[in-house]
Amino acid sequence: MSLLSTHGMMRRFLLFCVVVLATAVACAEPPATEPIPRGRQLFGQLGCSNCHTIDGQGGHVGPDLTHIGTTAATRRAGMSAEDYIRQSILDPGAYVVPGYNDVMPRGFGQRLSPSDLDALVTFLLSHQ
C-alpha cells in the first residue's frame, strides 16, 4: 500500500471519528429546563415531527400542528384545547381527525414523565 493511500485512509478515518463524536455530543443534548423549549425537544426526540409539520418543518402523515393551540379548542364539544391535546397524545384513538387514519402510535403516555408530558402539551398549546 502506498504512503499516499495510507494517508488518505487515515484522513477518512479521522473524519469518521469527528462525525461519530459530533453525533455523540448532539445526542447527549441536555434536557431543556423551560417547558416550551423542553416540549420542542421532545417533539423531535419522540419522533412526532416524523408525522407532523410544525412551523414549516416535519412530516405529513398527521395534521399540521402549527396552529394546534387554536384548532384544538374546536375539535370536541366541551373540551378545552389543553385537554384535547393531552388526550390526543395519551389516547390517539379517542378522536380521529377527519381525513386522517388512526395510525398515531400508542404508548407515549408510558414513555413520558408527568413533567415532560406537561412540557409537550405547553409547547403545542403555545402554537396559536
Site residues, ligand HEC (CB under 6 A):
46-48, 50-52, 61-63, 65, 68, 71, 75, 85, 88-89, 92, 95-97, 100-105, 108, 120, 124
What's the grid cell of residue 93? 384513538
Give the whole-angstrom CA distance, residue 56 versus residue 27. 23
Q: Which is nearer to ligand HEC, 6 or 115 (by Cβ)?
A: 115
List Cα–Cα distances, 98 to 79, 92, 101, 123, in angstroms.
Answer: 17, 13, 8, 24
CB of 3 to ligand HEC, least distance (A): 51
CB of 110 to ligand HEC, least distance (A): 12
Q: Which is nearer to ligand HEC, 2 or 114 (by Cβ)?
A: 114
Give the whole-angstrom CA distance, residue 87 versus residue 70. 16
